[in-house]
Amino acid sequence: VFERLKDGVDLSRRILVYLDGREVEAREGDTVASVLLVYGDRPYRRTPLSHSPRAPFCMMGVCFECLVQIDGTYNQQGCLVAVEPGMRIERQMGLRTVERA
Ligand code: FES
């Protein structure tokens, strides 16, 4: 949300990102959390141990309820990251898994 307030952000510019493998359209200045709230299935994420549903709360980097995987990196605060073309966003649903080689 706050990224849209920055100087030089062109709100008419469309950006394609991938949300859980699905292509969706965002606008320049959108944060990852805002895109997930608009296009994402519910819940936004689940906690690792109890699998409780969670969603962004503060939208300013304080509560850590907006954690997502961005371009393969886990536990990114979606409310603090502006979308980039081709970005791959994955919801975190419980414990992480380790892929075997
Ligand atoms: S919504 Fe609170 S840290 Fe992102």
Task: Give residue 66 CA to ligand 1 midpoint distance, Å.
Answer: 5
What tokens appear for 80 in the block? 């603090």
pLDDT in tens, the chain (101 residues): 567 777 787 878 899 999 999 999 999 989 999 999 999 889 999 999 999 999 999 999 999 999 999 999 999 999 999 999 999 999 999 887 777 88
Instruction: Tell which one of 64, 70, 75 to mutate to probe ligand 1, the residue whose CB is within 8 A of the most ligand atoms.
Output: 64
Q: Residue 28's CB: how many other CB atoms inside 10 A?
A: 19
How far apart, in Å, are the Cα atoms of 64 and each of 16, 47, 92? Answer: 25, 11, 13
The span from the CA of 28 to the CA of 46, in Å, is 28
* pTM, rounded to two decimals: 0.86
Q: Of the candidates 4, 5, 14, 19, which has an alpha carbon nearest to the alpha carbon of residue 89? A: 19
